Amino acid sequence: MSQQSIESLLKESRVFPPDEEFATRAHVRSFEQYRELYDKSVQDPEGFWMDMARGFHWFSQPRDVLQWDPPDARWFVGGSTNITYNAVDRHAQSLRRNKAAILWEGEFGETRTLTYQQLHREVCLFANVLRKLGVRTGDRVAIYMGMVPEIAVAMLACARIGAVHTVIFGGFAADALRDRVNDAKASIVVTCDGAYRRGQVIPLKSIVDKAVAQCPSVRHVVVYKRTAEPVSMEPGRDHYWHEVVQAVNASSAPLPVDSEQPLFILYTSGTTGKPKGVVHTTGGYMVATAITHKYIFDLHENDTYFCTADVGWITGHSYVVYGPLLNGATVVMYEGAPDYPDRGRLWSICERWGVTIFYTAPTAIRAFMRWGEQWPMKHDLSGLRLLGTVGEPINPEAWMWYQRVIGNGRCPIVDTWWQTETGAVMISPLPGAIPTKPGSVTVPFFGVVPDVVRKDGTSCAPNEGGYLVLKRPWPSMLRTVYGDHDRYVNQYWAEIGGSEGGIYFTGDGARRDEDGYFWIMGRVDDVVNVAGHRLGTAEIESALVAHRAVAEAAVVGRPDEMKGQALCAFVTLRPGNQATPQLKQDLAEQVAKEIGRFARPDVIRFADALPKTRSGKIMRRLLKEIASNGQVTGDTTTLEDLSVVARLTAEPEE
Ligand code: WTA
C-alpha cells in the first residue's frame, strides 16, 4: 500500500450511522444489541455456538462444542450431519420447496431458475452418478467448471456422499490444474466442454485433457455440455453429464457424516511456490457460513442476493453456494464478464432480477468508477438495500462512490474481512447496528477475537500498525493444509507466540483506531491481491525460472490504482540470452501457461543482478521500493553490492 493511501486512511474521519429505517427491520438493530451478543459470544463461546448450531439438522447431536488442543480444533464434537441436507433437503421439504434457489443468467442472456425442489433433484442425481463412478466417502473430486448451476450441484453432490470437493478456478492453466489434482489425488474431474467469457469460449475440456494426461489418480472425467463445441472424449474415462444422469435414479439419502469430516480442499497461494490445500470440515463451516451470511447481509426471506465472485474462490464457496443455500436464500449467479455486452451488465442484472443485496470486490468497484456513472444510471437500482465488499482494502474514494452511485446514498455497506483460511467473514459491520467508516472493516463478528500485535505478540497501541491475529479458534477455521500439517502449524500458528499459544497469524497488516475499529493495510508476506485474485509471488517466480533463458526472478507487488496491486517481475538472464521485448512476451506467456493469464506480471524488468544480502537472500523490500517509487530510501547496509540498486534505479522502467 502506498504512503499516500495509508495517509488517506489515517485521515478518514467520516462516520455513517446505520440508516434508521434499515435498522428497524434488521436482525441486529443497535450497537448495544451487537455489543451484548458479542460479549456473550466471547464470554461463553460454547453456549453461544451451541445455540447457533441448534438451527441445523443433526443426525446425532454434538456432545461437545469445541475440543481445542492448539493449534488443532474440533468443533461440534461427536455431531453428525450432512450439509446438503441442511442446504437443500430441508428447504425442498418446506414452504420453500418452489422458491428459487439459483437464478442463473448466461453471458448471452439466457436464463435458468432452479427451485429448491429442482436443486434437490439435481444434487441427488449427480450424487448417484458419483457413487456409480466409484466415488467413496473421503475421496477427492476435482471440479473445474465455468459459472453454471452445475458447479454448485457438483459440490453439493460430493458433500451428499461424504466426498471431498476441490474446486479449481476455471482461469487456471493446465499445469496449475494438474498440480492441484495431483496434490489432492482426485479420482474424478468434473468439467465443462467450455466456458463463455466475453463472448469467447475457454476450452475447459481440452485443458483438462492436457492436465489429466499427467494425473495418474484420475479415473473418470465428467463433462457438462455448455458450449456444444466439439471436444475429444476418451472412451471409458470420459462421460457426458447429461448422459450419465440418465442412467441413475433420483433418490439419494444424504450420508450422515461426522462434524469433522473434510468437506473441501481449496488451494490458495502462500509464501512458497507450492499452493496450499486449505482443508475445511463440515459442521463448523456449515454453522459459521450460514450465521455470518444471515447477520452480515441481514438476510430476509424475500431477499434476492447477488455475489459476483467466481465459485472457484472461497467467496464463491461460502457466499454463493453454502451460506446462502443453508439459509434458504435466492441466489443470482451470473456466468460471464461484467462488461459484456456492455459495461452496464451487472446493473442490468440487478434491475431485471430485483436484486436486493449485492456483494463484490474493490477491484470491480474501481473498474465501475472508471467506466463511469452513466452505466449504473441507465438502470433502476432502487431495489438494492445492502452492498458488500471483500477481497482487499477498499480505498475511501471507492467506498464513497459505491455508497453514492450504486447505493444512492441509502444502502449500508458491509466491508467484510476474511480469508480462504477463515472460511467465513471474521470482521465486518452488521448493517443495522454498526456505524461505518469508509475504508474500515469495523468490528469483529460474534465469537471472533482479533487483535493487532507486534512481532513479540504484545498488543499495539491505538493506531499503531502491526500484525492482524485471531486469538480464539472459530468454527469455520481451516483444520490443516492437505498433506502437510507441519505447514499448517508453522505458517499460521508458530509465527506469533509459538505453535501451542493458539494465536492465528493472518498474514495481514492492520491497525485498530481509537474506537476499536479495524483498518486492514494489506499483506505483510509475499502474497499479493491482484484484481481480486490472491497470488503468491513465489509461484510466479518459479514459473519464470522454468523458462530456459531465466537465471533468477523476483516478483513483488506494487500499489495500483485499478487492480489494488500490480505484479512487477525482476529477471536476470542466463549467459547468451538477449533482453528483448520478444523475450518479455515469452516470459509473460510462460506464466500464463503455468498458472493462468490472470497471473501475468504487469511489468517485467531485466536486470544484470538482483539486490541481495551478504548471505545471498534477495532483498525484496528494496525491489518493492524500486517498483513502487523508482528509488530506495530504506536501509541498504546489509546489501552485498550497492551498485545493483544504483543501476536498477537509474534505468527507467519501460
Ligand atoms: C484480503 C478472500 C481488506 C486480505 C475472502 C486477506 C481484505 C486476503 C478484505 C484473503 C477486506 C480480504 N479488506 N483486505 N475486506 N477481505 N482481504 O484468501 O489481505 O482470497 O488476507 O480470501 O484478502 O484473500 P482470500
Q: Could you tell me the distance, in angstroms and rounded to a whole number, from the CA of residue 528 to the centre of ligand 1?
A: 10
Atom of ligand 1 nearest to the CA of 315: 5
Q: Is the confidence at residue 275, as pLDDT, over 70?
A: yes
Q: Could you tell me the distance, in angstroms and rounded to a whole number, from the CA of residue 549 to the centre of ligand 1?
A: 35
Cα separation of 603 and 601, whole Å?
5
Asked if 400 and 437 touch (Cβ cutoff 8 Å), the reply is: no
Host H or E run for residue 358: strand 357-360
Greater pLDDT, 224 or 269: 224
Atom of ligand 1 nearest to the CA of 393: 3
Q: Is the confidence at residue 461, as pLDDT, over 70?
A: yes
Beta-strand relationship, 550-560 and 304-307: unpaired
Q: Could you tell me the distance, in angstroms and rounded to a whole number, from the CA of residue 522 to the centre of ligand 1?
A: 8
Host H or E run for residue 65: strand 64-69
pLDDT band at 4 (very low <50, low <70, confident <90, very high): very low
**Over the stretch 365-421, which tens digit does the pLDDT of each residue have?**
999 999 999 999 999 999 999 999 999 999 899 999 999 999 999 999 999 999 999
Q: Could you tell me the distance, in angstroms and rounded to a whole number, from the CA of residue 12 to the centre of ligand 1?
A: 21
Amino acid type, 144: Y
Cα separation of 263 and 256, whole Å?
13
Atom of ligand 1 nearest to the CA of 522: 19
Cα separation of 174 and 26, whole Å?
46
> Phi, psi at residue 35, to the nearest 5°?
-55, -45
pLDDT band at 1 (very low <50, low <70, confident <90, very high): very low
Q: Could you tell me the distance, in angstroms and rounded to a whole number, from the CA of residue 434 to the centre of ligand 1?
A: 20
H-state helical runs in 87-196: 90-92, 116-132, 149-160, 174-184
Q: Which of 239, 263, 357 minimizes the C-alpha distance to 318?
A: 263
Amino acid type, 365: I
**Over the stretch 142-195, which tens digit does the pLDDT of each residue have?**
999 999 999 999 999 999 999 999 999 999 999 999 999 999 999 999 999 999
**Over the stretch 471-518, which tens digit does the pLDDT of each residue have?**
999 999 999 999 999 999 999 999 999 888 999 999 999 999 999 999
Q: Whose CA is nearest to atom 4 of ligand 1?
A: 392
Q: What pLDDT score does 3 carry?
A: 45
Cα separation of 37 and 517, whole Å?
17
Host H or E run for residue 212: helix 204-212
Asked if 223 and 522 touch (Cβ cutoff 8 Å), the reply is: no
pLDDT band at 5 (very low <50, low <70, confident <90, very high): very low
Going from the C-alpha of 399 to that of each of 8, 34, 307, 390, 404, the distances in angstroms are 13, 23, 17, 12, 9
What is the sign, positive or negative, of the torsion defined by CA atoms of 87, 88, 90, 91? positive
Q: Whose CA is nearest to atom 22 of ligand 1?
A: 419
| 3-state SS class at 551 | strand
Give the fold, CATH level 3, of 55-306+319-326.
Rossmann fold (3.40.50)
SS3 labels along 302-347: CCEEEECCCCCCHHHHHHHHHHHHHCCCEEEEECCCCCCCCCCHHH
**Over the stretch 25-37, which tens digit does the pLDDT of each residue have?**
999 999 999 999 9
Asked if 319 and 359 touch (Cβ cutoff 8 Å), the reply is: yes
What is the best residue among 390, 426, 468, 526 to mutate for testing ligand 1's pocket, by most ligand atoms within 8 Å of CB? 390
Average pLDDT, the chain: 94
**Over the stretch 225-274, which tens digit does the pLDDT of each residue have?**
999 999 999 999 999 999 999 999 999 999 999 999 999 999 998 877 78
Q: Could you tell me the distance, in angstroms and rounded to a whole number, from the CA of residue 622 to the centre of ligand 1?
A: 25
Beta-strand relationship, 220-224 and 188-192: parallel
Q: Whose CA is nearest to atom 15 of ligand 1?
A: 417
Q: Which of 430, 453, 373 minimizes the C-alpha distance to 405?
A: 373
Q: What pLDDT score does 2 carry?
A: 43
Q: Which of 167, 140, 139 minimizes the C-alpha distance to 153?
A: 167
Q: Could you tell me the distance, in angstroms and rounded to a whole number, from the CA of residue 542 to the centre of ligand 1?
A: 24
Q: What pLDDT score does 542 carry?
A: 86
Atom of ligand 1 nearest to the CA of 427: 15
Host H or E run for residue 565: strand 564-573
Q: Could you tell me the distance, in angstroms and rounded to a whole number, from the CA of residue 391 to the centre of ligand 1?
A: 4
Q: Is the confidence at residue 6, as pLDDT, over 70?
A: no
Atom of ligand 1 nearest to the CA of 533: 20
Q: What percentage of the chain exceeds 70 in pLDDT?
A: 98
Cell representation of residue 548: 530456459
Cell representation of residue 632: 530506495
Burial degree of 633 (CB within 10 A; 0-12, 13-18, 19+):
exposed
Q: Could you tell me the distance, in angstroms and rounded to a whole number, from the CA of residue 143 to the centre of ligand 1?
A: 23
Of 53-67, 253-267, 522-536, which range is least confident? 522-536
What is the best residue among 529, 535, 563 to mutate for testing ligand 1's pocket, by most ligand atoms within 8 Å of CB? 529
Q: Is the confidence at residue 8, as pLDDT, over 70?
A: no
Q: Is the confidence at residue 278, as pLDDT, over 70?
A: yes
Cell representation of residue 271: 509464501
> Phi, psi at residue 482, to the nearest 5°?
-55, 120
pLDDT band at 633 (very low <50, low <70, confident <90, very high): confident
Q: What pLDDT score does 638 carry?
A: 74
Q: Is the confidence at residue 546, as pLDDT, over 50?
A: yes
**Over the stretch 290-314, which tens digit does the pLDDT of each residue have?**
999 999 999 999 999 999 999 999 9
Q: What residue ranges do the domains of the chain occupy?
A: 55-306+319-326, 531-650
Q: Whose CA is nearest to atom 6 of ligand 1?
A: 419
pLDDT band at 630 (very low <50, low <70, confident <90, very high): confident
Q: Is the confidence at residue 121, as pLDDT, over 50?
A: yes
Asked if 289 and 321 touch (Cβ cutoff 8 Å), the reply is: no
> Phi, psi at residue 399, to the nearest 5°?
-60, -45
Q: Whose CA is nearest to atom 3 of ligand 1?
A: 393
pLDDT band at 10 (very low <50, low <70, confident <90, very high): low
Q: Could you tell me the distance, in angstroms and rounded to a whole number, from the CA of residue 387 to the centre of ligand 1?
A: 17
Cα separation of 553 and 540, whole Å?
9
What is the CB neighbour count within 10 angstroms for residue 616? 7
Q: Is the confidence at residue 621, as pLDDT, over 90?
A: no
Q: What CATH number should be reported for the domain whose range is 531-650? A: 3.30.300.30
Q: Whose CA is nearest to atom 25 of ligand 1?
A: 419
Atom of ligand 1 nearest to the CA of 441: 15
Asked if 70 and 501 touch (Cβ cutoff 8 Å), the reply is: yes
Q: Could you tell me the distance, in angstroms and rounded to a whole number, from the CA of residue 237 to the centre of ligand 1?
A: 38
> Phi, psi at residue 162, to the nearest 5°?
80, 15
pLDDT band at 11 (very low <50, low <70, confident <90, very high): low
* Pocket, ligand 1, Cβ cutoff 6 A: 268, 313-315, 390-393, 415-420, 441, 506-508, 520, 522-523, 529, 534
pLDDT band at 654 (very low <50, low <70, confident <90, very high): low
Mean pLDDT, residues 71-76: 98
Q: Could you tell me the distance, in angstroms and rounded to a whole number, from the CA of residue 543 to the centre of ligand 1?
A: 24
**Over the stretch 126-150, which tens digit does the pLDDT of each residue have?**
999 999 999 999 999 999 999 999 9
Q: Could you tell me the distance, in angstroms and rounded to a whole number, from the CA of residue 477 to the centre of ligand 1?
A: 15
What is the sign, positive or negative, of the torsion defined by CA atoms of 126, 320, 559, 462? negative
Q: What pLDDT score does 644 carry?
A: 85
Q: Is the confidence at residue 547, as pLDDT, over 60?
A: yes
| 3-state SS class at 588 | helix
Going from the C-alpha of 278 to that of each of 66, 180, 183, the distances in angstroms are 20, 12, 12
CB burial string 517-530: b at 16+ within 10 A, e below: bbbbbbbbbbbbbb
Atom of ligand 1 nearest to the CA of 419: 22
What is the best residue among 495, 508, 521, 539 to mutate for testing ligand 1's pocket, by most ligand atoms within 8 Å of CB? 508
Q: What pLDDT score does 9 carry?
A: 54
Q: What pLDDT score does 648 carry?
A: 85
Asked if 327 and 275 touch (Cβ cutoff 8 Å), the reply is: no
